[in-house]
Amino acid sequence: MTSVLVKDLTLKFGALTVLDNLNIDIPEGEFLVLLGASGCGKSTLLNCIAGLLDVTDGEIHINDRNVTWEEPSGRGIGMVFQSYALYPQMTVEGNLSFGLKNARMAKAEIKQRVARAAEILQIEPLLHRKPAALSGGQRQRVAIGRALVRDVDVFLFDEPLSNLDAKLRADLRVEIKRLHHNLKNTMIYVTHDQVEAMTLADRIAIMKGGIIQQLDTPTEIYNRPRNKYVAGFIGSPEINFFEGEVEQGTFATGGERFSLEGYAFQGAATAGAAWLGIRPEHIVSGGSAKDLPVTAEVTVDIVEPMGSDTLAWATLAGVPLRIRMDGQAAVSTGDRILIGFDPARASLFDKTTEERL
């Protein structure tokens, strides 16, 4: 059953088109992440769904109800903001109950809902404190609680973890995941952090310039990016790109010629200018490299040890190459090493359309 439906949504600010004819269909209980660089329109889309921005054209349906012209409070959504947006002059309890009071709910009911939310989020001891007396993590829990008490089917998260430090972010990420697991609500989650996106999402929508580039499961997006932008955006360290020509099952670039054996073309394999992308972690070095369809010998320029793994920089076919190795790999600047990769794990994109081949 469809929970949130975005139909032909367009938003313009004057002459500037921010969202361009978007269509998303979100089934009930799905955790959808809107991912993209800043300015891609992801937050704008979320605000449109929430009713905080008026759309220029198109429709928004929530739970099979057309809510395009509905007030935010009438849409059956709860929303969590990056800056938590807690009302500073109210206690935690006041923050949680404000919306319910506005809806003129009975006192007993409010009390019960607040208690339940507090229990779920383990913030009972904080109920009588003001937001200023809370830590960042606690504040964000309260903010989530504010969405929770509304007892709605759709939760909207607008970069909720971006203001937290790395450790807290990881902790809360897990908690949100657990929350979703327990509540099974539809959640739409905006972030620019791909780790959050990958770990939380049932599906990810990658946006750029007001257009959804790809809407797919995390694995699919990681393994089979639909275009060059998505390939470059997802993955850290960044994917390596080579510019060249596809010719009879091989890819020619800067004097090198890689075999494309095992690469699954979308359609028929066509010759022509293209990009080849291979992720640093899919490049194998050392002994096992020589068995792969594509091999080369490169000189290591720089080594960046990161503990769990090590990133080595080299040059291949005239372009810088990132190679991700094991953290224990004994490699140092100036070493000549043998590398290789399996073309089945690479991605090919058309030179001009940048679409996956």
Partner 1 sequence: MSSSSNARKPSGLFRNLSAKIASVPMVLTALVVFVGGTAWTVLYSFTSSKLLPKTNFVGLDQYERLWSTRRWLISIENLAVYGFFSMIFTLVIGFTLAALLDRKIRGENVFRTIFLYPFALSFVVTGLAWQWILNPDLGVQSVVRSLGWESFTFNPLNDPDIVIYGILIAGLWQGTGLIMVIMLAGLRGIDEDIWKAARVDGIGTVKTYIRVIIPMMRPVFVTALVLIASGIIKIYDLVVAQTNGGPGIASEVPAKYVINYMFRAQNLGQGFAASTMMLVSVIVILIPWAYLEFGGKKRG
Partner 2 sequence: MVDAVIPRGPKPRPRFSRTNIMLYGTLIVVAAYYALPLYVMIVTSLKGMPEIRIGNIFAPPVEVTYQPWVKAWSEACTGINCEGLSRGFWNSVQILIPSVILSIAIASVNGYALANWKFKGSEVFFTILIVGAFIPYQVMLYPLVIILREMGLYGNIWGLVLVHTIFGMPILTLLFRNYFTSVPEELFKAARVDGAGFWGIYFRIMLPMSLPIFVVAIILQVTGIWNDFLFGVIYTKPADYPMTVQLNNIVNSVQGVKEYNVNMAATLLTGLVPLIIYFASGKLFVRGIAAGAVKG
Binding site for partner 1 (CB under 8 A): 2, 5, 59, 61, 64-71, 74
Listed residue (89, 75, 93, 221) closest to 146, CA to CA: 93
What single letter denotes the amino acid at residue 293? P
* 146 part of the interface to partner 2, by CB under 8 A: yes
- Kind of pairing between the strands at 31-35 and 203-208: parallel
CB under 5 to 8 A by kind: which of partner 1, partner 2, none does 65 bind?
partner 1
Q: Between 131 and 235, whose beta carbon lies closer to partner 2?
A: 131
Cα radius of gyration (the chain): 24
User: Residue 87 corresponds to which tokens in the numbers above?
Assistant: 């009302």
Using alpha carbons, list the distances in angstroms from residue 301 to 148, 235, 298, 332: 52, 22, 9, 8
CB under 5 to 8 A by kind: which of partner 1, partner 2, none does 81 bind?
partner 2
Whether 298 and 337 have beta carbons less than 8 Å apart is answered as yes
Give the interface segment with partner 2, choosing from 67-75, 254-262, 280-288, 349-357 (CB under 8 A).
67-75
CB under 5 to 8 A by kind: which of partner 1, partner 2, none does 160 bind?
none
SS3 of 33, please?
Answer: strand
Q: Residue 67 CB, nearest distance to partner 2 (Å)?
A: 13
Among 16, 38, 88, 330, binds partner 2 (CB under 8 A): 88
Gap between the Cα atoms of 279 and 259, Å rounded: 16
CB under 5 to 8 A by kind: which of partner 1, partner 2, none does 82 bind?
partner 2
* 98 part of the interface to partner 2, by CB under 8 A: yes
Gap between the Cα atoms of 33 and 53, Å rounded: 19
CB under 5 to 8 A by kind: which of partner 1, partner 2, none does 59 bind?
partner 1
Among 65, 87, 119, 304, binds partner 2 (CB under 8 A): 87
Beta bridge mates, 257: 252
Q: Between 118 and 154, whose beta carbon lies closer to partner 2?
A: 154
Q: Residue 62 CB, nearest distance to partner 1 (Å)?
A: 10
Among 83, 270, 288, 353, binds partner 2 (CB under 8 A): 83
Q: Which long-range contacts (CB under 8 A, 24 or more apart) does 51-57 make?
A: 51/75, 51/77, 53/11, 55/9, 55/10, 55/11, 55/19, 56/10, 56/11, 56/12, 57/8, 57/9, 57/10
* 346 part of the interface to partner 2, by CB under 8 A: no
Q: Residue 91 CB, nearest distance to partner 2 (Å)?
A: 12
* 136 part of the interface to partner 2, by CB under 8 A: no
* 237 part of the interface to partner 2, by CB under 8 A: no
- Kind of pairing between the strands at 309-316 and 294-305: antiparallel
Gap between the Cα atoms of 250 and 88, Å rounded: 62
CB under 5 to 8 A by kind: which of partner 1, partner 2, none does 5 bind?
partner 1
Residues 150-169 that bind partner 2 (CB under 8 A): 158
* 78 part of the interface to partner 2, by CB under 8 A: yes
User: Residue 44 corresponds to which tokens in the numbers above?
Assistant: 């704008």
* DSSP H or E stretch at residue 289: none
* 77 part of the interface to partner 2, by CB under 8 A: yes
Q: Residue 111 CB, nearest distance to partner 1 (Å)?
A: 30
Listed residue (243, 239, 263) closest to 255, CA to CA: 243
* 79 part of the interface to partner 2, by CB under 8 A: yes
SS3 of 305, please?
Answer: strand
* 214 part of the interface to partner 2, by CB under 8 A: no
Q: Residue 69 CB, nearest distance to partner 1 (Å)?
A: 4
**Quick count: other Cβ atoms within 10 Å of Cβ 181?**
9
Gap between the Cα atoms of 111 and 127, Å rounded: 11
What single letter denotes the amino acid at residue 33? V
List interacting residues with partner 2 (CB under 8 A).
Answer: 47, 50-52, 71-74, 77-79, 81-89, 98-99, 102-103, 143, 146, 158
